[in-house]
């Protein structure tokens, strides 16, 4: 028997840990074994996610349709179609996420426009009729000042040869939120075919640096 004082009565009693909450898992319709961009837009990005009230696919489709009707070049139209695809992975800094997501499959100009549209949204350009969105006053407050990295990205993009491509995305971004509009990707099938390098293995099954991000969109409810 130990001769040391028995201090067990003075020790706090530890409660058992609370039960772990179950992870909410949704059942999603299966995708083809080799999913394409259109498969992902229709099968995963056509329902609201990441706290957004609108579905990414419907929004970007409306945005791209406006750009197409305005006669913009096909790369800019595709940039409009892809500009918010990063929200399928993460809502903050979605322009940067989206650019990384598509970089292996599109031209540098397209991914550049997707990346920098996020910063340009906060800065008016009277020469093209772009005003600071009124809804940003509600979202961020009347005295909101973008953080320095957004300001730096804006300064860089403003003097870049591809500025108008990213600026065009912002021009057709803020007025494309008709939740009743049907999802119609048919006008973009040929543009996607010409400017999006679909991997033969299917998005998420190839070995690019962003394939894991596509897998996140394919199965966003994996526990690990």
pLDDT tens digits for 16-44?
666 555 545 567 889 999 999 999 999 99
Of residues 3 and 93, more confidently modeled: 93
Q: Exposed, middle or buried, 172 (CB in 10 Å: 0-12/13-18/19+)? A: buried
How much is the mean pLDDT over the chain? 88
Specify the pLDDT at position 27.
76
- What number is the average pLDDT over the span 157-172? 96
Structural domain spans, the chain: 35-215
CATH 1.10.3210.10 fits 35-215, yes or no: yes
**Tell me: the pLDDT tens digits for 61-119?**
999 999 999 999 999 999 999 999 999 898 889 999 999 999 999 999 999 999 999 99
* Angle (CA) 43 75 40, round 5°: 10
Q: Tokens 């199965």 correspond to what residue?
A: 219
| pTM across the whole model | 0.85
């Amino acid at each position: 028997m130990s001769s040391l004082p028995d201090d067990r009565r003075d020790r706090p009693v530890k409660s058992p840990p609370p039960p772990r909450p179950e992870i909410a898992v949704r059942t999603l319709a299966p995708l083809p074994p080799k999913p394409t961009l259109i498969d992902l837009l229709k099968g995963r990005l056509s329902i609201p996610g990441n706290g957004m009230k609108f579905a990414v696919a419907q929004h970007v489709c409306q945005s791209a349709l406006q750009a197409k009707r305005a006669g913009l070049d096909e790369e800019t139209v595709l940039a409009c179609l892809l500009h918010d695809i990063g929200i399928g992975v993460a809502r903050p800094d979605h322009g940067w996420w989206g650019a990384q997501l598509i970089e292996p499959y599109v031209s540098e100009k397209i991914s550049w426009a997707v990346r920098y549209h996020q910063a340009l949204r906060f800065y008016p350009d009277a020469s093209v009729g772009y005003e600071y969105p009124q809804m940003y006053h509600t979202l961020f407050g009347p005295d909101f000042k973008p953080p320095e990295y957004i300001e730096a990205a804006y300064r860089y993009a403003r003097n870049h040869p591809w500025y108008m491509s990213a600026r065009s995305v912002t021009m057709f971004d803020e007025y494309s939120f008709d939740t009743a509009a049907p999802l119609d990707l048919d006008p973009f099938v040929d543009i996607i075919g010409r400017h999006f390098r679909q991997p033969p293995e299917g998005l998420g099954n190839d070995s690019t640096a962003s394939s894991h991000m596509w897998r996140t969109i394919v199965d966003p409810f994996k526990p690990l």
